[in-house]
Amino acid sequence: MSARDTNLVNRVSYGVGHAMISAKNMLFHFFFLFYFANVLGLPEWQVLAATFLAIIIDAVSDPVMGQISDNTRSRRWGRRHGWILISSIPTAAALTLLFSPPEGMSEGALFVWMAGFMIGTRILITGYTVPYFALGADMSSHYDERTSIVGLRTIFENIFNLLVFILAFVVFLPDRDGLEDGMLYEPGYAGLALSLGLVGMIAALLMSAGTWNRIPSTQPHNWDPGKPWYAAFINLREALGYSEFRTLTLGFSLLVMLYSTISQLSLFVGVYVWRFDQAEKLITSLVPFLVIIPAAILADQVSRRADKREAALWLTWLFGLSFSLPFALYLVGFIPPIGSTGLLVLVAVCSGLGYAGMVGALMLSYSMMADVSDLMTVNTGRKREGLLFAAFTFANKLAFAGGLVMATIGLTLIDLPDAALPSDVDNSTTRLLAIYSVVINLALAGLAWAAYRRYALSRARHLRLQEQLRKARPVESGVAEL
């Protein structure tokens, strides 16, 4: 495929396709722990146990799905589109059922329900996410256009993320008479999950229609039978032999772990530390989205003028420091009073800056992984976008599980009561939560920065790789036919 060969419809449609992933991610990252542990009363360790069981299964399903997608040979559906469409409906159904447990279930039955549908959702969405992210790499081989494609996808990702907050805080979980906080309204979670699943299915159809004309240009150059699905693990071991792949995946994972920890604790912080009402929660959730487009443009422009690695380095520190600042001020007594407009402004501005740093760094990470796929293609003679992004997807899931571990450890140390009312939580408890947040933010941001520093695939080196790719078309392998 020639460079700069996508049009605006292709790029916008591809970005729209992130809705299903956003629906799952936002429900898992922001609402899952709070709903099952704080609203339904399951012990945090049970939520953690179910998550790690799902991660073990993901360790197999992600690379296998990457290999299957890479090896699919269908002239009508391509390597990616068929899997995306097939996966969308059952994923939406499993996600809805996860947040709709029957009333009156025992603790054991509730755990089985939660674990079963959580694992089911993760397995099913693997068939969506792996081909979807690989499609983004297929669409262009150009160093800078890849960043633009990921940037536009990131903008739509965050538009859908914002939709989740609006539906949650305004439609399904608003403040209600008789509740100190709307987040404690149990029936609202089922309607929220159902609505997001429907949005995800519609978006999958729109994405497929808008990128359908790219199927011929993203097909492999031959149709030989290739290697079976279990070769994914051999190829993954081969990918781990590249320092560029290892360092990029490590930096990305640490950054995602930090975001996951912040996400899992965000509702606890908003309810018990800042004591925000639902309108204030919506405002603080909305403000970061105002910086999404500037953040995407900034990351794109900085990487064009310097390099992707350098841009990712300083954006990582912007992320960690900005989210730490309100907690640090709270601990030293320089925070505006609880309930004041000043506190709302401070938290909103810091969230916006931190979110801008995170969006830019993660956007560049996906763009850099597409460059790593070119390096492997030159060295092995085979295109492996699906496999590499499957590994990236698994690293993303593992990192989010790590963030859940960090959040669970913090909540265990703090010993926050189940379904506690804000008025029942004393100042010593909220200070512990603030201290824990600062330590985790700075530690994980520092480790991510150190990993990104070791990434060595520069613009100049990538240009040489592209020249080699133009001189020798890679050999492809394939096995599945939709």
The single-letter code of the amino acid at 435 is: I
Distance CA(196)–CA(168), nearest Å, equals 10
Would you state the pLDDT for residue 230? 56
Q: Is the pLDDT of residue 298 over 90?
A: no
The total domain count for the chain is 1
> Which pLDDT value is given to residue 321?
95
What is the mean pLDDT of the segment spanning 403-420? 79
247: its two tokens: 């360092």
Confidence (pLDDT) at 3: 46
The CATH number linked to 422 is 1.20.1250.20
In a domain, 1, yes or no: no
**C-alpha closest to that of 56 among 112, 119, 117:** 119
How confident is the model at residue 76, as a pLDDT?
80
- Residue 461: partners with Cβ closer than 8 Å, 6 or more residues away: none
Least confident span in 137-146, 280-289, 436-445: 137-146
402 — pLDDT class (breaks 50, 70, 90): confident
Residue 222, C-beta contacts closer than 8 angstroms, at least 6 positions apart? 475, 476
What is the rounded average pLDDT for all residues in the chain? 82
Ranking 188-192, 341-345, 358-362 by mean pLDDT, the lowest is 358-362
**Would you say residue 448 lies in a domain?**
yes
Q: What is residue 101's DSSP assignment?
A: P
Tokens linked to 41? 């009363």
Alpha-carbon distance values, 116 to 50, 90, 128, 172, 285 (Å)? 8, 14, 19, 25, 30
Q: What is the pTM of this model?
A: 0.68
Using one digit for the tens of pLDDT, what is the confidence trace for 148-203? 787 788 888 888 988 998 999 889 998 887 777 788 888 999 999 999 999 999 99
Reported confidence tier of residue 232, pLDDT bands at 50, 70, 90: low
Averaged pLDDT, 36-54: 83
Report yes or no on 21 lying in a domain.
Answer: yes
Please tell me the predicted confidence (pLDDT) of residue 385: 64
Q: Examine the pLDDT at 325 and tell me if it is beyond 60.
A: yes
Q: CB under 8 Å to 6, separation ≥6 — which residues? A: 139, 140, 145, 149, 214
122 within domain boundaries: yes
Question: From the CB of residue 415, how many other CB atoms can be counted at a distance below 10 Å?
Answer: 8
One-character DSSP codes across 436-482: HHHHHHHHHHHHHHHHHHT----HHHHHHHHHHHHHSPPP----B--
Do 66 and 232 touch, CB atoms closer than 8 A?
yes
- Residues with Cβ within 8 Å of 415's Cβ and at least 6 positions away in sequence, in order, are 429
CA atoms within 13 A on the CB side of 197: 23
State the Cα–Cα distance between residues 100 and 105, nearest whole angstrom: 12
Q: Which of 187-196, 202-211, 368-377 is predicted with the least confidence, judged by mean pLDDT?
A: 368-377
Q: Predicted confidence band at 482 (pLDDT cuts at 50, 70, 90)?
A: very low
Phi, psi for residue 4 in degrees, rounded to 5? 55, 50
Distances (CA, A) of 234 to 67, 230, 275, 336, 388: 11, 8, 51, 56, 12
Banded pLDDT at 110 (limits 50, 70, 90):
very high
* Residue 347 pLDDT exceeds 90: yes
Which is more confident, 153 or 379?
153
**For 93, how many CA atoms within 13 A lie in the half-sphere containing its CB?**
6
What local confidence, expressed as pLDDT, does residue 157 receive?
Answer: 86
- Mean per-residue pLDDT, 333-355: 91
* pLDDT for residue 478: 40
By CB neighbour count within 10 A (0-12 exposed, 13-18 middle, 19+ buried), where does 406 fall? buried
Percentage above 90 pLDDT, the chain: 30
Identify the domain containing residue 104 by its residue range.
10-471
Beta-carbon count within 10 A of 321 CB: 17
Token pair for 90 = 């059952």
Q: d(Cα 446, Cα 335) in Å, to the nearest integer?
A: 25
H or E stretch at 161: helix 143-166
User: Is residue 477 predicted with pLDDT exceeding 50?
Assistant: no
Position 371 pLDDT exceeds 80? yes
Residue 399, burial from CB neighbour count under 10 angstroms (0-12, 13-18, 19+):
buried
Residue 4 resides in a domain: no
Burial class (CB in 10 A: 0-12, 13-18, 19+), 470: exposed
Q: What angle do CA 94, 99, 103 make, to 5 degrees?
A: 120
Residues 6+ apart with CB under 8 A from 104: none
For the ranges 163-172, 224-233, 411-420, which has the lowest average pLDDT?
A: 224-233
Q: CB of 175 within 8 A of CB of 411?
A: no
Residue 375 forms part of a structural domain: yes
- The answer to whether residue 173 is domain-embedded is yes
Residue 192: which residues within 8 A CB-CB, separation 6 or more? 27, 31, 99, 164, 167, 168, 171, 172, 173
Position 157: which residue type? E
d(CA 219, CA 95): 32
Higher pLDDT among residues 7 and 98, named by residue: 98
383: confidence class by pLDDT, cuts 50, 70, 90: low
